[in-house]
């Protein structure tokens, strides 16, 4: 995502991010991939990256960007103004969510449920970020049932709610089990945190938000670009 210079030092806003397109790249982008997104050679104030698979900022795949501006990769060693409670080294994707919650809800408890390859539960309570449980996302649930059984087929992630009472096929039964199982887990985590903090603000983010958001209870904000808000906040701190 390219953040306009007019927003570079502004307070992060999900509304502002909604109007900006997301550009998708391969795991190891080439110079041609970058030129497709940045064709005019415009200098960049900086490049901020959060990706668990990303190489260090000195890696060759970032060189086309490094020629235009400084490159920074978010990791657990990055300086931050808030406390993180977690047993290990928090991944960069979850650190970006921590920055987002701090920026968007500085005075409120907040919860970010990220649904992608995995479901991660991320909470900010009294200004402290808690890295919570991790479980399989939709794709992993469907893939595991195919790869660890003899006969169950590989099926696609459903685009939305599927028939659960009387599925019309094995494929639909797998989709319903994965979809509603994940939906129930998300709802359970929300209720657990609301028991501790009744006014907690809840965000649903990650690549599978479009499939799940319309079926969840009210009082939850669908925010697929939440991690970008975190990178925006991190960049404003002089990182």
DSSP string, 154-203: P-PPPSS----SS-SSHHHHHHHHHHHHHHHHHHHHHHHHHHH-TT-EEE
Contact of 61 with 25, CB cutoff 8 Å: no
Please give the biggest Cα pair distance in the chain.
57
Would strands 110-115 and 118-125 be described as parallel, antiparallel, or unpaired? antiparallel
Catalytic status, residue 93: yes
Among the listed residues 33, 51, 75, 93, the single catalytic one is: 93
Which burial class, exposed, middle or buried, applies to 234 when counting CB atoms under 10 A from its CB (0-12, 13-18, 19+)? buried
Contact of 201 with 109, CB cutoff 8 Å: yes
Catalytic residues: 93
């Amino acid at each position: 995502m390219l953040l306009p210079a007019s927003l570079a030092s502004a307070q992060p806003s999900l509304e502002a991010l909604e109007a900006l397109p997301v550009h998708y790249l391969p795991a190891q982008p080439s110079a041609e991939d970058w030129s497709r997104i940045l064709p005019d050679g415009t200098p960049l104030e900086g490049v901020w990256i959060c990706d668990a698979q990303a190489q260090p900022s000195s890696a060759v795949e970032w060189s086309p960007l490094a020629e235009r501006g400084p490159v920074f990769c978010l990791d657990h060693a990055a300086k931050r103004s808030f406390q993180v409670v977690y047993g290990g080294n928090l991944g960069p994707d979850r650190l970006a969510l921590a920055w987002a919650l701090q920026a968007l809800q500085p005075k409120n408890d907040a919860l970010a449920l990220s649904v992608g390859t995995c479901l991660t539960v991320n909470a900010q309570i009294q200004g402290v970020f808690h890295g919570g449980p991790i479980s399989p996302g939709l794709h992993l649930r469907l893939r595991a049932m195919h790869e660890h059984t003899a006969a169950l087929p590989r099926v696609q992630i459903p685009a939305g709610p599927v028939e659960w009472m009387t599925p019309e096929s094995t494929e639909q039964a797998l989709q319903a089990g994965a979809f509603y199982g994940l939906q129930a887990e998300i709802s359970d985590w929300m209720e657990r945190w609301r028991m501790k903090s009744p006014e907690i603000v809840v965000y649903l983010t990650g690549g599978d938000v479009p499939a799940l958001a319309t079926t969840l209870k009210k009082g939850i904000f669908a925010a697929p670009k939440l991690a970008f808000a975190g990178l925006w906040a991190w960049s404003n701190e002089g990182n």
